[in-house]
């Protein structure tokens, strides 16, 4: 490990993007990944029987309006043009999200025009009804807060589309990689200047970084693991929400007719159901097979040993994060980033953008 210019701890999308940038600038890069495989939470697995690509950590849809990010990622994959739409189930009926003319007209049985929608939703009775149906129960499940603690006025701060557009994202560039998400990481890390070691978690011991019993070279280290874990939780544990999944293979061609359906009622224990074959409509043979795979997603309180997904923003968590950032600043050549290192939820394009903006001294 002596011929190393840069170390990247974590082979998720942030770390892999950085590794590629450094490698293309001529630096020797060592990528250390604590899991057995690269890809972070974007990692997928292909079911051998059906050929369906399963998003192991919940659905990931690439979407962006950032030209530099779209140009970069398209060097390593081709997207299928999938446009993400989300349905919501409430009291036995199905509605299109997000909040717009399609949802409002269907829910209330009216035929509002775009000009009429703002005044209609400004009415407290209408906004409260929408909030109770589609936000109150779902929010309580997702964040572990009792419905009574959720302020119905929040609905007035949610953007309301005065159109029938049911695309979930506004970004004009969207899609799923034709050859799967795993191939992106394989191609990003396929460079003569990059060495990848999996099952290799970085730890800090007496001011030195180690992997197993080995001291790491004292070169810049870009760390995208949990920042509190790096410092052995000396100031306390940063709070997260975690997710649990139940995956089921069914002997039918199509279970729900779309990739994601949210279940908004608090009485339904899961938040949503994913059906992965719908992400690849171009694979006609897979779509036609009389088998499908669904995944029920449950939100839960995080504890040590669980996978952290969503940081919880409170005054206490901000104070803890500041303490850990102060610790990191004491260590020369340590740079924190990514979802876990920055304690910030990033969409995939924003994670790439963050890695592209880092000054690597080219």
What does the pLDDT average to over 30-41?
Answer: 96
Mean per-residue pLDDT of the chain: 93
Omega within 30 of 0 (cis) for the link into 56: no
The per-residue pLDDT for 361 is 85
Domains of the chain with bracketed CATH: 6-43+179-238+311-357 (3.40.50.720), 99-165 (no CATH)
What does the pLDDT average to over 193-200?
Answer: 96
Q: Is 235 helix (H, G, I), strand (E, B) or coil?
A: coil
345 is annotated as an active-site residue = yes
Q: Kindly tell me the sign of the dihedral angle through the C-alpha atoms of 255, 261, 264, 268.
A: positive
**Considering only CA atoms, which of 296, 275, 288 is closest in space to residue 85?**
275
Catalytic entry in 263, 272, 324, 349: 272
The per-residue pLDDT for 249 is 98
How do the residues of the chain divide into helix, strand and coil, expressed in percent and rounded to 5?
Answer: 30, 25, 45
User: Could you report the per-residue pLDDT of 341-353, keeping only the tens digit for each?
Assistant: 999 999 999 999 9
Phi then psi for 312, rounded to 5 degrees? -105, 115
Q: Say if strands 208-211 and 214-215 run parallel, antiparallel, or are unpaired.
A: antiparallel
User: Could you report the per-residue pLDDT of 255-313, keeping only the tens digit for each?
Assistant: 999 999 999 999 999 999 999 999 999 999 999 999 999 999 999 999 999 999 999 88
User: Could you report the per-residue pLDDT of 144-167, keeping only the tens digit for each?
Assistant: 877 666 555 555 556 789 999 999
Q: Say if strands 272-275 and 93-97 run parallel, antiparallel, or are unpaired.
A: unpaired
Alpha-carbon span 272 to 143, nearest angstrom = 14
The per-residue pLDDT for 205 is 87
Catalytic entry in 89, 197, 241, 296: 241
Alpha-carbon span 228 to 136, nearest angstrom = 31
H or E segment and range at residue 322: helix 315-329
Q: Say if strands 214-215 and 272-275 run parallel, antiparallel, or are unpaired.
A: unpaired
**Considering only CA atoms, which of 238, 266, 242 is closest in space to residue 145?**
266
Q: Give the Cα-Cα-Cα angle 153, 141, 341 (nearest 5 degrees).
A: 95
| Residue 98: both structure tokens together | 């997000």
297 is annotated as an active-site residue = yes
What does the pLDDT average to over 46-75?
Answer: 97
Contacts for 186 with CB less than 8 Å, ≥ 6 apart: 38
Catalytic entry in 228, 297, 349, 353: 297
157 is annotated as an active-site residue = yes
H or E segment and range at residue 223: strand 221-223
The per-residue pLDDT for 206 is 83
The per-residue pLDDT for 207 is 82
User: Could you report the per-residue pLDDT of 231-240, keeping only the tens digit for each?
Assistant: 999 999 999 9
Cβ-contact 244, 355 below 8 angstroms? no
Alpha-carbon span 302 to 140, nearest angstrom = 15
Phi then psi for 197, rounded to 5 degrees? -125, 120
Catalytic entry in 149, 157, 251, 285: 157
Confidence band, pLDDT 50/70/90 cuts, at residue 362? low
More confident residue, 195 or 149: 195
The per-residue pLDDT for 147 is 63
User: Could you report the per-residue pLDDT of 113-143, keeping only the tens digit for each?
Assistant: 999 999 999 999 999 999 899 988 998 999 8
Report DSSP letters for 21-59, one per residue: HHHHTT--EEEEESSSSSSGGG-EEE-TTT-PEEETTS-
Cβ-contact 175, 181 below 8 angstroms? no
347 is annotated as an active-site residue = yes
**Considering only CA atoms, which of 140, 185, 186, 134 is closest in space to residue 160?**
134
218 is annotated as an active-site residue = no
Regarding pTM above 0.75, the answer is yes
20 is annotated as an active-site residue = no
């Amino acid at each position: 490990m002596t011929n190393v210019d840069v170390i990247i701890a974590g082979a998720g999308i942030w770390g892999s993007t950085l590794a590629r940038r450094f490698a293309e600038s001529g630096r020797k890069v060592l990528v250390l990944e604590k899991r057995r495989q690269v890809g972070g939470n974007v990692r997928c697995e292909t079911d051998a029987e059906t050929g369906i690509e399963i998003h192991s950590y919940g659905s990931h849809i690439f979407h962006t309006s950032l030209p530099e990010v779209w140009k970069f990622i398209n060097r390593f994959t081709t997207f299928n043009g999938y446009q993400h739409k989300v349905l919501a189930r409430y009291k036995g009926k199905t509605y299109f999200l997000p909040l717009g003319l399609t949802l409002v007209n269907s829910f209330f049985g009216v035929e509002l025009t775009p000009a009429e929608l703002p005044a209609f939703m400004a009415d407290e009775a209408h906004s409260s009804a929408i909030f109770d149906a589609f936000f109150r129960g779902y929010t309580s499940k997702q964040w572990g807060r009792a419905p009574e603690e959720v302020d119905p006025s929040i609905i007035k701060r949610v953007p309301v589309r005065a159109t029938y557009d049911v695309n979930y994202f506004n970004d004009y560039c969207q899609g799923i990689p034709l050859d799967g998400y795993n191939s992106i990481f394989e191609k990003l890390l396929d460079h003569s200047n990059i060495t990848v070691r999996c099952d290799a978690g970085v730890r800090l011991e007496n001011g030195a970084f180690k992997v197993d019993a080995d001291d790491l070279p004292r070169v810049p280290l870009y760390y995208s693991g949990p920042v509190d874990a790096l410092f052995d939780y000396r100031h306390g544990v940063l709070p997260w929400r975690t997710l649990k999944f139940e995956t089921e293979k069914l002997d039918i061609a199509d279970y729900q007719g779309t990739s994601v359906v949210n279940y908004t009622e608090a009485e339904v224990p899961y938040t949503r159901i994913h059906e992965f074959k719908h992400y690849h409509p171009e694979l006609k043979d897979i779509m036609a097979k009389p088998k499908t795979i669904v995944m029920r997603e449950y939100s839960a309180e995080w504890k040590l040993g669980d996978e952290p997904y969503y940081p919880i923003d409170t005054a206490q968590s901000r104070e803890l994060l500041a303490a850990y950032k102060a610790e990191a600043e004491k260590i020369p050549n340590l740079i924190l980033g990514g979802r876990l290192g920055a304690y910030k939820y990033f969409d995939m394009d924003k994670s790439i953008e963050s890695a592209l903006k880092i000054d690597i001294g080219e």
